[in-house]
Amino acid sequence: MRVHAGIITVASLVAFALSACAPAAAPSPTAAPAKPAAQPTAAPPTAVPAKPPEAKPEARPAATAAAVAKPTVQPAARVGFNEAAVADFYKSKTVRLITGGPPGGGYDTYSRAIARHMGDHIPGKPNMIVENMAGAGMVLAANHVYNVAPKDGTVLINYNAAGIALQQLLGTQGVEVDASKFQYLGVPTGDTSLCIASKASGFKSLAETMGPNGKQFIVGGNGPGNALDDDPAVLAAALGANIKVISGYKGTPDIRLAMDGGEVQGICGWSWESFKISALDAVKSGDYLIIAQNTEKPHKELPNVPVAYDLARTDEARQLFHYGIPLISGVQRHYAAPPGVPADRLQALREAFTKTLADKEFLADAEKTKLDIALVSGDEAQKLITELLAMPADIKARLRTVWKR
């Protein structure tokens, strides 16, 4: 699925216990010299030389016979555009990158790192700033960019397109977009959903929750429509895992406090990409244990952590698991332009995004904040959203029941 623009490796994370790793620092956006900006929450670009990446295709996890066939990723051929006209348009302009995540979160951290460099790869070298528009599970940001923001290439969005597409598919009230009509630039990396247990819980494996005598695993959640509620519901339905969700926590920091205080035993749906930035120290100390990765194949940094997909016993269970977790979490951090952006500018933005994720200075910047980089092209991101929206009717009906909406 992924065309690698550069991978930030964490060499010491290959053992299941992860005990040799040093704690990772929490992300903090880096300031850069400011160009004139029209908005207060700016992340000005830093000048860097543009060096296009060498694209290398990587296959997605293998699907079962019951699952919909997944597209094969091939590097997209360069489509020519009028560079002079694009440069003339963007010269002296400001590009607003609206992220649906709150300040200091994973989406915000990726967006600020990208914004510090991407402007220098757009013809005309516009200033680039980040604006946070968190709320309603990123529906607020998606609705604004789709329906209100200019469609001239001066406003982009970073949001969970898979999550929004799923809400669109299920007819969630308040979703006023067609996720298939956003014009995708790409995804910097997929997310790897995890189940994590506290040491006090005594859990060593998700398999302990399965079967007629499976132990109940009590996890914290942050409300329907979010991975921390939805992923454990899919694990229960697809695998028969005995998982109970205590919902209503604001986010992972509050759930961590609940784990530490014994209110809950763990968390399911927290991504490895975010977890290792903020909570790896808890694994090193032995306070937390990663008991499953909710994927179809192991993450390269977690080769010894059990894969939940292997616990599915039927094609129906595997298909429900595929659509309910990996297809959604695998490509969440989408960068896109709204419908209607002129073709020349869209192509320039796509090329700038790809070049940014291969930029040596950007990669060094990303490494400092432990950001994984494994580019999913804009074309492939578009295909995956199309696959999600083409979900078989029986699976959609089952997921609606599983998620109670």
Task: List, as one string, the DSSP characters of 152-167.
Answer: SSSEEEEEEHHHHHHH
- 66 near 318, Cβ under 8 Å? yes
pLDDT of residue 65 exceeding 50: no
| Delimiting residues of CATH 3.40.190.150 domain(s) in the chain | 26-190+330-395
What does the alpha-carbon distance between residue 374 and residue 3 come to, in Å, rounded to a whole number? 7
What's the pLDDT at 206?
98
The mean of the pLDDT values for the chain is: 83
Share of the chain above pLDDT 70, in %: 80
Q: pLDDT band for position 78 (50/70/90)?
A: low
Label residues 296-326 b or e (16+ Cβ within 10 Å = b).
bebbebbeebbbbbebbeeeebbbbbbbbbb
Q: pLDDT band for position 53 (50/70/90)?
A: very low
- CATH number among 3.40.718.10, 3.40.50.970, 3.40.190.10, 3.30.300.130, domain 193-327: 3.40.190.10
List all residues 6 or more positions away from 171 whose beta carbon is below 8 Å from its beta carbon.
Answer: none
What does the alpha-carbon distance between residue 212 and residue 306 come to, in Å, rounded to a whole number? 21
What's the pLDDT at 317?
96
Structure tokens at 151: 């469609």
Which CATH number describes the domain made up of 26-190+330-395? Answer: 3.40.190.150
- 26 vs 156: which has the higher pLDDT: 156
What's the pLDDT at 237?
96
- 296 vs 15: which has the higher pLDDT: 296
Residue 97: helix, strand or coil by DSSP? strand
- 44 vs 263: which has the higher pLDDT: 263
For 197-249, the pLDDT digits (tens) are 999 999 999 999 999 999 999 999 988 778 899 999 999 999 999 999 999 89
List all residues 6 or more positions away from 376 whose beta carbon is below 8 Å from its beta carbon.
Answer: 1, 2, 3, 73, 186, 187, 189, 190, 331, 384
Average pLDDT over residues 143-160: 97
Nearest residue to 185 via CA among 295, 110, 258: 110
Q: pLDDT band for position 286 (50/70/90)?
A: very high
Share of the chain above pLDDT 90, in %: 64
Dihedral over alpha carbons 33, 37, 42, 48 (to 10 degrees): -40
- 142 near 100, Cβ under 8 Å? yes
| Delimiting residues of CATH 3.40.190.10 domain(s) in the chain | 193-327
Average pLDDT over residues 118-134: 97
What's the pLDDT at 32?
38
What's the pLDDT at 9?
35
Q: pLDDT band for position 79 (50/70/90)?
A: low
List all residues 6 or more positions away from 150 whose beta carbon is below 8 Å from its beta carbon.
Answer: none
pLDDT of residue 403 exceeding 80: yes
What's the pLDDT at 97?
98
Whether the predicted model's global pTM rises above the 0.75 cut: no
What's the pLDDT at 226?
81
Structure tokens at 155: 């406003």
